[in-house]
Amino acid sequence: MIGRLRGTLLEKRPPMLLVDVQGVGYEVEAPMSTFYELPALGEAVSLRTHLVIKDDAHSLYGFASEQERSLFRALIKVSGVGPKLALTLLSGIRAEDFVRCVEHQDITALVRLPGIGKKTAERLLIEMRDRVQNLDFSATPSLPGAARQPAPVSAEDHVGDAVSALIALGYKPAEASRLVREVETDGLSSEEIIRQALQRAMR
């Protein structure tokens, strides 16, 4: 089991990033909550990871904090929730807000997320009720060395990356394009465009 990666951040195209660890490039899928904390390309990065092994693929998922990874591991134990849907949840709603949804049995907020129908939301609220009590969100440290410098990419590329990321998170192409169009994208990185688009989707 690969539980942690520390290396150089080579690429970040949500939800996928590439980390070089002593000459070996690891492809890692991460929620947007982790992407918001990533340093600039070429900088050192350290991620908590979870490895999913299937017959046709080995998939590595990365997280900025132990709290995020713990919630991810709790989510994929819920019937009908796989790693992809768990990433969508962590991308579309903050971990703390998800815990509050469970505590207050707020189904309305969950069904706004792509791939979450009423039945799935009901299962989440029921099965996560006891599990969230064991999760500690009192401190969620940022990744060491996190930087906010945008990569030297054109505005059109940032918009395209944002749309592609939303589609990868489960939004239909038309819905992803609409959400991005509603954001004032001038001067924004792809991560910030995605953040604002996801915030609009949850209203």
Complete domains list, the chain, with CATH: 4-63 (2.40.50.140), 66-134 (1.10.150.20), 155-201 (1.10.8.10)
In the chain, the percentage of residues whose pLDDT exceeds 70 is 90
List Cα–Cα distances, 120 to 4, 116, 134, 198, in angstroms: 30, 6, 22, 20
Mean pLDDT of 103-117: 89
Residue for token pair 């807000």: 97
Q: Say how far apart CA 135 and CA 131 lie, in whole Å.
A: 7
Model pLDDT, residue 136: 65
Model pLDDT, residue 137: 58
What confidence category does residue 156 fall into, taking pLDDT thresholds of 50, 70 and 90? low
pLDDT reading at 72 higher than 90: yes
Cβ atoms 90, 62 nearer than 8 A: no
Mean pLDDT of 102-119: 89
Better pLDDT: 80 or 139: 80
**Is the pTM of the predicted complex or chain greater than 0.85?**
no
Residue 156 makes CB contacts below 8 A (sequence gap 6+) with none
